[in-house]
Structure 1
Amino acid sequence: MSTRIPIVEGLPELPATDVLDALRAAFSELAGDKAAQPPQTVTLLPGGGDVIAYQAATSDAYGVKVSPYLPQADGRAVVTAWTLLVSTRTGRPLLLCDAGALTVQRTAATSALAVDELARPGAAALAVIGSGPLARAHLRYARVVRDFTSVRMYSPSLTTAAAPEGVSVTGSAEDAVAGADVVLLCTSAAEPVIDAAGLRPGTVVTSISTNAPRAHEIAPAALASLDVYGDYRPTVTATAGEMVIAAERGLWSAGHLRGDLPELLAGTCPPPGGDRPVFFRSVGLGIEDLAVARLLLDRS
Structure 2
Amino acid sequence: MRYYNREHVEQALSIQLAIELSQVAFALQSQGKVMQSVRSIIPAPDGRLMGTMPAYISEGKYSGFGLKSVLVDFNPHQGAASHEGCILLFDEQANGEMVTVDAGSITELRTAAASAWATHLLAPPQATRLAILGTGLQARKHLLTMLAVRPIEQVTIWGRNPTNVDQFATWCAEHPVLNNITITIAETPAEAVSDADIICTVTAARAPLLHLGDLPQSCHINAVGASAIGFQELDPAIYGAVEHYVDSQESCWNASQCLQQAKEKGYLPSEHLSREIGELGTHIPENRPKRTLFKSVGLAVQDLVFAREVLHQNQSNPT
TM-score (norm 1): 0.83
Residue 98 of structure 1: how far off its partner (Å):
2.2
SS at match of 1:247: helix
- 2:307 & 2:158 partners in 1: Cα distance? 32
- 2:182 & 2:158 partners in 1: Cα distance? 10
Aligned to 1:296: 310
Is residue 143 of structure 1 aligned with residue 147 of structure 2? yes
Contact 1:130 1:187 in 2 (8 A): yes
Aligned to 2:235: 219
Contact 1:230 1:257 in 2 (8 A): no
Aligned to 2:36: 37
Aligned to 1:8: 4
Please list every run of at least 4 consecutive aligned residues from structure 1 whose deviation after the TM superposition is greater than 6 angstroms: 88-91, 269-272
Farther-moved stretch of structure 1 (109-118 vs 60-69): 60-69
Contact 1:237 1:254 in 2 (8 A): no
Instruction: Quote the sequence identity (%).
Output: 24
Contact 2:198 2:219 in 1 (8 A): yes
Structure 1 segment 80-95 matched on structure 2, within 5 A = 80-87=84-91, 92-95=96-99
Residue 134 of structure 1: how far off its partner (Å):
0.6
Q: 1:234 to 1:92 in 2, by over 3 A?
A: farther
Residue 49 of structure 1: how far off its partner (Å):
7.2
Farther-moved stretch of structure 1 (154-163 vs 123-132): 154-163
Q: Deviations over 1:72-106 (max 9, x none)?
A: xxxxxx96321101227799454202211211111
Structure 1 segment 1-300 matched on structure 2, within 5 A = 5-10=1-6, 11-13=9-11, 14-43=13-42, 51-58=50-57, 59=59, 60-68=63-71, 80-87=84-91, 92-156=96-160, 157=162, 158-159=165-166, 160-164=169-173, 165=178, 166-172=181-187, 173-210=189-226, 213-255=229-271, 257-265=273-281, 273-275=288-290, 277-300=291-314
Q: 1:38 to 1:266 in 2, by over 3 A?
A: farther
- 2:90 & 2:170 partners in 1: Cα distance? 44
- 1:12 & 1:222 partners in 2: Cα distance? 36
Q: 1:57 to 1:167 in 2, by over 3 A?
A: farther
Please tell me the residue identity of whatever aligns with 2:53.
Y
Count of aligned pairs: 287
Aligned to 2:78: none
SS at match of 2:294: strand
**Unmatched segments (≥5 aa) in structure 2:** 74-81, 315-319
- 1:210 & 1:124 partners in 2: Cα distance? 25
**Unmatched segments (≥5 aa) in structure 1:** 71-77
Residue 45 of structure 1: how far off its partner (Å):
8.2
Contact 1:209 1:240 in 2 (8 A): no
Contact 2:121 2:282 in 1 (8 A): no
- 2:287 & 2:230 partners in 1: Cα distance? 26
Please tell me the residue identity of whatever aligns with 1:176.
A
- 1:230 & 1:39 partners in 2: Cα distance? 14
SS at match of 1:188: coil
- 2:103 & 2:69 partners in 1: Cα distance? 9
Contact 1:231 1:260 in 2 (8 A): yes
Contact 1:197 1:226 in 2 (8 A): no
Q: 1:140 to 1:247 in 2, by over 3 A?
A: same
Q: 1:186 to 1:79 in 2, by over 3 A?
A: closer
Q: 1:88 to 1:132 in 2, by over 3 A?
A: same
Farther-moved stretch of structure 1 (10-19 vs 286-295): 10-19
Residue 31 of structure 1: how far off its partner (Å):
2.9
The CA RMSD measured in Å over matched residues stands at: 3.0
- 2:28 & 2:282 partners in 1: Cα distance? 10
Contact 1:117 1:265 in 2 (8 A): no
